[in-house]
Structure 1
Amino acid sequence: MNTIKERLDTLESILGQFIVHTDVALRRLENEMKEFKDEMKEFKDEMKEFKDEMKDFKDEMKEETKKKNREWSNLAKKMGTLVEDLIAPALRPVLSKYFNCDVTMEGQRMFRRKSGMDYEVDAIAAGDDAVFMIEVKSTPREKDVDDIVEKSKKFFEFFPEYKDKKLAVIFGSITFPENVITYASRRNVYVMGWREWDYMDILNYDQINKQ
């Protein structure tokens, strides 16, 4: 009988120690989990702060890029080099993007004389199926659109080598007033300028191709 009692006492002692150790382990685990959660919260806060800083940095860089583009454009305007500095470098990517055109010929200040008449185009680009006549003005107006359309009617007369291609007319500048974009769209003239000072782009492609 004593032996059984001793065993029960031993079992109770062991069970008590187990409960105590388990409770200690659970408390330790609970504390470690709390510390882990606190560390994760700190990490998330740090990541949020880092993301906010990166966003601020990107916004600052974007604004700085826009500022430099404005300064560069104003300088090109003053020097009369809009074609060389702004339009020509953007032609190939723009024509590829919107017209799926792989440019095989590109030229600036293209001049021809025929029957005593002079004819000069600011820039010409050609691919397999299309040729692009690009005229550039520093201060675009609706009247410029009319002049460009009239000028385009004689394009093949002075550049007959492109008669087998479709002619597309592009009006290039730094920026465009909305009324000029709308008017150019009605006359099927594409306008090419800065899109929000981020990059040179065709500003009315959708308007023309929805007509």
Structure 2
Amino acid sequence: MRDFKTEINKKWGELSNKMGTMAEDLVAPSIERILKETVGCPDNQVEWQAVRIKARHQNSGQQREFDVVAVCGDYLLVNETKSYLRPEDLPEFVNLLTEVRDYFPQYKEKQVIGSIGSLYVDSSLVRRGERLGLIVLGMGEHLMQVLNTPEFSPQFF
């Protein structure tokens, strides 16, 4: 019985890990198109993109993993992907965005843009994310799509 419980717990852990990476695996291929739609990044002009990249804060030394980070022109896009997006995730992510240049000092001259995504995003969270200046992503016609209103412009952090 103990072996069975150990095996079940292991499987739950694997499933939980896969849910986290599944969302990122859906977002990453959409980043170039999202940059084009939101800030006019030309096709094939993403200079650098990384998925699940670990970076160290230049002052505190704290290490953190970022789901997706991409650079295009004057912009550094940082994406946080959640298997389930909660209201408190939005302001927490905005706080992180104010420190992104400390994790990526080589891009300190770039304008930081935040995008947050999930497989399902309630419309109230889309509105709240938009008020905070975040690009909000959810499942759509092209893997992930921008859920913000057409007149939305992302905030620079």
TM-score bucket of the superposed structures, by smaller chain:
0.7 to 0.9
Where do 4+ consecutive residues of structure 1 move more than 6 Å? none
Instruction: Calculate the aligned-residue CA RMSD, in Å.
Output: 2.4
Identity %, equivalent residues: 30
**Structure (1 or 2) with the larger CA radius of gyration:** 1
CA shift in 2, pair 1:146/1:207, >3 Å: farther
Calculate the TM-score normalised by the size of structure 2. Answer: 0.76
Corresponding residue pairs, total? 135
Counterpart in the other structure of 1:99:
39
Residue 113 in 1 paired to residue 56 in 2? yes
Give 1:120 shift. 2.0
- Residue type at the aligned position of 2:47: T
Give the counterpart letter for 1:134 in structure 2. N
Amino acid at match of 2:147: L
Structure 2 CA distance for aligned equivalents of residues 79 and 175 of structure 1: 13
Q: Contact (CA 8 Å) 1:124, 1:131: kept in 2 or not? A: yes
**Contact 2:24 2:81 survives alignment (8 Å):** no
Query: How far is 1:128 from its partner?
Result: 1.5
Query: Conserved in 2, the CA contact under 8 Å of 1:77 and 1:138?
Result: no
Unaligned stretches of 5+ residues in structure 1: 1-74
2:91 maps to which residue? 146
- Larger RCO: Structure 1 or Structure 2 (Cα < 8 Å, ≥ 6 residues apart)? 2
Q: Partner of 1:80: helix, strand, or coil?
A: helix
- Structure 2 match to 1:206: 150
What is the aligned partner in structure 2 of residue 184 from structure 1? 129
Distance 2:66 2:103 in 1: 10
8 A Cα contact 2:76 2:110, kept in partner: yes
Say if 1:82 and 1:173, in contact at 8 Å, map to a contact too: no
Deviations 1:78-111 (A, max 9, x none): 5432344200111112212332212110001121
Change (3 A) 1:185 1:84: closer
Question: In the TM superposition, what is the alpha-carbon distance from 1:129 to its structure 2 partner?
Answer: 1.0
Q: Which has the higher strand share?
A: 2
The answer on 1:89 being equivalent to 2:34 is no
Give the structure 2 partner of residue 194 of structure 1. 139
Provide TM-score, normalisation by structure 1.
0.58
